[in-house]
Chain A
């Protein structure tokens, strides 16, 4: 089954404790992306990657890091999480022709 997986689905952590949210896709897509979803603000892009070793900032990159060492994986790293990063996070990958994005199930992060 074609899918995007994320882990963990739920995470509660404390300020300053480094964490990684994993994302993997099995559709051989070149493009992958991370979004955060907050009430009233909709979905905002954090980072995206056009291919292996190619990443770029989205609309709200501050406080986040990403890496793309393999085509299928695109982890999101919070090196020093803060409470304002409490949010629902989605990973997505995209086909090219046409460019349709497929989303993972989401990771609900709470930073206390």
Chain B
């Protein structure tokens, strides 16, 4: 069985501050890990993915995430928050060789001017 836990259903940061969204996973097989972003009234857009190559993954809009096997974590970071980053972020996992995605419950990011 596999699972994804996102710590914090709601995170607030000031504009220009570091964004850190936490994701921990559990998987019995080597995982592929993903971060998706959902802007209001829109679908999910892929931010970045880890597929067993480099452990530090860079995505769109200045986001990056680091795969840490020893900590079973895949936290999402961005050095400086912009107002346009306000959205809901989902961490997701699939087992290598599988299409099936397991999602975390999501973290809503608010950016305070």
Contacts and interface: CB of A to CB of B under 8 A. Distances in A.
Interface residues of B, number: 21
A99 B32 contact: yes
A90 B88 CA distance: 15
Most buried by B among A4, A102, A103, A104: A103
A47 to B, nearest CB: 12
Interface in A39-75: 40-43, 45, 48, 50
B104 A42 contact: yes
User: How big is the A interface, by class?
Assistant: 20 to 34
B63 interface: no
Contact of A42 (B32, B42, B90, B100): B90
A100 interface: yes
A105 B43 contact: yes
Interface of B: 32, 34, 36, 41-46, 49, 51, 90, 94, 98-101, 103-106
Top 5 nearest A-B pairs (CB, nearest first) are A98-B51, A103-B44, A42-B105, A103-B43, A105-B43
Interface of A: 4, 31, 33, 40-43, 45, 48, 50, 90, 92, 94, 96, 98-106
